[in-house]
Amino acid sequence: MAEQIEFDQAHQTLQEVSEALENGRFVYVRRQLQDMEPEDIAHLLEASPRKSRDVLWQLTDPEDYGEILDELNEDVKDNLVSKMAPEKLAEATEGMDTDDVAYVLRSLPDDVSREVLSQMDTADRQRVETALSYPEDSAGGIMNTDVITIRGDVDVDVVLRYLRMRGELPEATDALYVIDEESMLIGHLSLSTILTTQPDVKVIDVMDDADEAIHVETSDSDVASLFERRDWVSAPVVDSDHHLVGRITIDDVVDIIREDAEHSMMSMAGMDDDEDTFAPVVKSARRRSVWLGANVLAALAAASVSNMFEATLEQMAAIAVLMTIVPSMGGVAGNQTVALVIRGLALGHIGDSNKRELLLKEAAIGFLNGILWALIIGGIVVAWKGNWMLGGIISAAMLTNLLVAGIAGVTIPIFLKKLNIDPALAGGMALTTITDVIGLSVFLGLATVLLT
C-alpha cells in the first residue's frame, strides 16, 4: 500500500503542521518543511488558511521558493509574490521555468517587474523577455527555451558522445531537435531512437520530420488538445519562418487541461476558476456579487411576469403555491442540455455540420421527459388540490417548458459562442431566465384564461 500510505501521510502532515503552527512550534514546522518536496509544500500552502500560509512561507527555505511558486495555483501565487521584495523575487526566479517567471512578472506592477528583471542575469533576462513578448495563453507563453539542438549530418555516435559530455538533460526531454544552418527546425530525434539505432547511422536518416511543430501563436487550448490526441510528451515550437524557438512539455499541458475543465465547472456556477479556496472575504464577496447582480435581473424578470398576473394570483392562492414548479423543472432540464453542449463545444464535437441533428435530439428528449413529468405532476396536483383543470394547466405548461428548455439549451451556448461570449459563464443564467419566463407565462397565462 505504498501510495495509500503516502496519501494518508500528506493529510497527516497537513494536520500536524497546522496544529504545530497554532501552538507556535515554529522550529518543528521549519524542520518538517525542510524534509518536504517543493510540490508537497505547494499543496500544503494551497490547503492552508491565509494567516497560516504567510507564516509557512516565512518558514520555508528561500532556496525552494522558485520551485514552489512553479506549482502554486495562480491566486495563491499572486498573493505570495506581491509580498516579496524584488531582489528576493529575482533570486527565486533562478529555480523557476522561464514560462513561470513570465507568468509571475505579468502579475506584478510594471515598476516592480522591471526591477526584478534588472536583477536577473543577462541570459535569463533575455529568455524571460522573449516569453513576455507572447500572449500568456499562447504556445509562446507556455513554452520553455531549454531545448537541445543537433545537426542532421552527424552520426548518432557523435550525438551520444555530445550528450555524455553535456551531462544532465532538461526535465521531460524525450527528443533532441534537429536544425539546419539557419536554425530552421527540420526534424526531431527521440531518445529511444538514439538508444535503439546503430551508432554509425546519420541523424537525418533516422529522425522524424517536423511536420507537426507547434506555431508560437497557437492558443494554449489548441496545444492541449493536440497533446491529448497525439499522446505527446513534448513538442517543438516554431515561429512563422519555422525557426525553432522553444518546446512545450506535457506537465504544463496537464495544468492547462485541468484549468480548462475546472473553468467550465466553476464558470457554470458563476465562479472565477483562479479563485483560491481561502481567498480573502471582501475580495471574494466582490467577485461573486457580479454574478448575483446578473441573477437579480433574472429574478426580477420572473417577478415581472408574475406581476402581470397579479389579479389571477389574488383570486386563487393555489396558483401561487404551484407556480414555482414548472420554472424549476425547466431550469434543471435545460441546464442538463447546456452542460452537454458546453462540453461538446469545448471538445470541438459540435459544429455547423451537426448542430441541427443535436437540436432535434435535445428537443425530442425534452418532449419525452415533458410528457412523463406532465403526467406525474398533473396527477399529483389533481390528487392534492382536487382540481382537474389545474392539473391539466400545469401539465401543459410543463410539457411546453421542457420542450423550450431542450431547444434553448442547444441554441443559447452555440449563439453565445458565435458572439465570443463564454458559454460556460453566461449559458446557464440565460437559460434559466428563459425557462423561468416561459414557464411562468404559460402556467399563469393558461390559469388566467381558464380558471378566472
Span of 26-34, 56-64, 114-122, 269-277 interacting with a second copy by CB under 8 A: 269-277
DSSP secondary structure letters along 374-410: HHHHHHHHHHHH--HHHHHHHHHHHHHHHHHHHHHHH
Span of 88-96, 108-116, 123-131, 333-341 interacting with a second copy by CB under 8 A: 333-341
Interaction residues for a second copy, span 348-387 (CB under 8 A): 348-354, 357-358, 361, 364-365, 368-369, 372-373, 376-377, 380
**Residue 418 lies near a second copy (rule: CB under 8 A):** no
Residue 13 has which C-alpha cell?
A: 502532515
**Residue 209 lies near a second copy (rule: CB under 8 A):** no
**Residue 271 lies near a second copy (rule: CB under 8 A):** yes
Give the shortest CB-95-to-a second copy separation in angstroms: 14
Span of 88-96, 101-109, 110-118, 290-298 interacting with a second copy by CB under 8 A: 290-298
In 3-state terms, what secondary structure has residue 152?
coil
Q: Which of 23, 135, 157, 332 binds a second copy (CB under 8 A)?
A: 332
**Residue 215 lies near a second copy (rule: CB under 8 A):** yes
Report the alpha-carbon distance of residue 178 to residue 54 in Å, rounded: 46
Span of 55-63, 108-116, 126-134, 342-350 interacting with a second copy by CB under 8 A: 342-350
**Residue 266 lies near a second copy (rule: CB under 8 A):** yes
Q: Which of 258, 379, 450, 452 binds a second copy (CB under 8 A)?
A: 258
Residue 10 has which C-alpha cell?
A: 500528506
Give the shortest CB-159-to-a second copy separation in angstroms: 9
Please tell me the total number of residues recorded for the chain in this structure: 452
- CA 77 to each of CA 53, 108, 279: distance values in angstroms, whole numbers, following the listed order: 11, 11, 12
Burial class, 451, CB count within 10 angstroms (exposed 0-12 / middle 13-18 / buried 19+): middle
**Residue 401 lies near a second copy (rule: CB under 8 A):** no
Report the alpha-carbon distance of residue 444 to residue 319 in Å, rounded: 8
Q: Which of 107, 119, 130, 197 binds a second copy (CB under 8 A)?
A: 197
Give the shortest CB-143-to-a second copy separation in angstroms: 13
Q: Which of 43, 77, 127, 188 binds a second copy (CB under 8 A)?
A: 43
Report the alpha-carbon distance of residue 199 to residue 214 in Å, rounded: 30
Residue 199 has which C-alpha cell?
A: 551508432
Interaction residues for a second copy, span 229-248 (CB under 8 A): 229-231, 233, 238, 240
**Residue 301 lies near a second copy (rule: CB under 8 A):** no
- CA 385 to each of CA 55, 147, 322, 381: distance values in angstroms, whole numbers, following the listed order: 62, 75, 10, 6
In 3-state terms, what secondary structure has residue 109?
coil
**Residue 33 lies near a second copy (rule: CB under 8 A):** no
Question: Look-up: residue for cell 505504498?
Answer: 2
**Residue 324 lies near a second copy (rule: CB under 8 A):** yes
Report the alpha-carbon distance of residue 327 to residue 289 in Å, rounded: 24
